[in-house]
Amino acid sequence: MSNAPVRRPRIADVAREAGVSKSAVSFAFNSPQRLSQETASRILAVAATLGYRPHPVARMLAVRQTTTIGILSPQPLAQVFANPFFPLFAQGVATVTDDRGFGLLFISPLHGSLRRAMERATVDGIVVIGLEESHPEVESIRGSHVPVILVDAPAWPEHGSVGVDDETGARAAAEHLVALGHRELLVVGVEPPTAMADFSPEGVTGRRLAGYRSVAADHGIELGRDRVVVGPATFEGGEQSLLRAWSDGLRPTGVLAMSDAAAAGVVQGGRHLGLKVPDDLSVVGFDDLPLSRFIDPPLTTVHQPVRLKGEEAARLLLLALSSPPGSPSGEHRILETRLVVRRSTAPPPEPARARG
């Protein structure tokens, strides 16, 4: 008995059996309108009998379309998926792409380079999420010839974008804590994707920080750099941010976290310090992810429509892909935010209230 592997049928085999050229076989799979219906049907029937199917890469090159879109993040994917925001956002994207027969490819920096990652990705278009203006490769991404839709990033005129009213949402969160009587505030921000980078005023972190600081200034509260600690938008990132601030001598009664994951980590960090939430420490998040209702205590947070944000980004990108080459894809959509008050916030403890 021979152990030789069975040879995979090739396009030449189909062409020989159907009595046509290899080009005609390619047309039957990729451009059947270029053949008569009878010829195309005969070729496909022969291919089915032989068990032939086009190689996916060859087919992609033939039709010049991958039917795949990418989701590009400045952070490594291991870090991105540690934030429960991202799967919910990706679910929104997939809701739209599944209906249109497109697949998803998640892209993270290749050896630290977003540009190289984009060059290697076999996708028709890219959703870029959380790209700060200060990123060193932002210009090469802006100049790419691939359709791009930006999410939670400064708007570029030549590319469409989807975001939320971050500053208004942040103001609502800060106003809530101040109205409860909090004066000792701490901001837990999201660290920039590259070392030594600073927050772009037009980026998500910069806009939220501006909202917090605007309210603080209105009430004579100091919210300088020493009151802003940054870390990954993860449970561990929030926990370590609070513990680091505490070890530096800060004693906040209210924490404004820029993500629900970080806020949940702050709650856990407070437990390590012997603090009760909200009796000793009030915590406000940003996202209103499903987890915010189930942590103990349920989280006061700023709601943003995360899944809808993914859906809108996918719709804009597919619209750009269906437009004539060179058409601008510069539609910009801003979604609303709102404060959702739960049980993680309360007036500060009596000594802090007396100081205020």
236 and 203 fall within a common domain: yes
HEC string of the chain? Answer: CCCCCCCCCCHHHHHHHHCCCHHHHHHHHHCHHHCCHHHHHHHHHHHHHHCCCCCHHHHHHHHCCCCEEEEECCCCHHHHCCCCHHHHHHHHHHHHHHHHCCEEEEECCECCEHHHHHHHCCCCEEEEECCCCCCCCHHHHHCCCCCEEEECCCCCCCEEEEEECHHHHHHHHHHHHHHHCCCCEEEEEECCCCCCCCCCCCCHHHHHHHHHHHHHHHCCCCCCHHHEEEECCCHHHHHHHHHHHHHCCCCCCEEEECCHHHHHHHHHHHHHCCCCCCCCCEEEEEECCHHHHCCCCCCEEEECCHHHHHHHHHHHHHHHHHCCCCCCEEEEEEECCEEECCCCCCCCCHHHHHHC
pLDDT given at position 1: 44
pLDDT beyond 70 at 81 = yes
* Residue ranges making up the domain that contains 55: 11-63
When mean pLDDT is compared over 33-37, 61-65, 113-117, 190-194, the highest value belongs to: 33-37
pLDDT (0 to 100) of residue 329: 58
Residues 160 and 184 in one domain: no
Is residue 17 assigned to a domain? yes
pLDDT at 257 over 90: yes
In this prediction, residue 269 has a pLDDT band, given cuts at 50, 70 and 90, of very high
Lowest mean pLDDT among 93-102, 317-326, 335-344: 317-326
Please tell me whether residues 310 and 212 are part of one structural domain: no
Q: With a cut of 50, say whether residue 40 has pLDDT above it.
A: yes
Q: Assess whether pLDDT exceeds 60 at residue 355.
A: no
The answer to the question of residue 113 being in a domain is yes
CATH number of the CATH domain containing 218: 3.40.50.2300
The band of 61, judged by pLDDT with boundaries at 50, 70 and 90, is very low
Task: Give the tens place of pLDDT for each residue, 194-236.
Answer: 544 566 777 889 999 999 999 999 999 999 999 999 999 999 9
Per-residue pLDDT band for 3 (boundaries 50, 70, 90) equals low
pLDDT at 327: 61
Same domain, 148 and 275: no
Q: What is the mean pLDDT of the chain?
A: 87
In a domain, 3, yes or no: no
Confidence of residue 144 (pLDDT cuts 50, 70, 90): confident
Residue 6 lies in a domain: no
* 145 lies in the same domain as 170: no
pLDDT over 70, % of the chain: 89
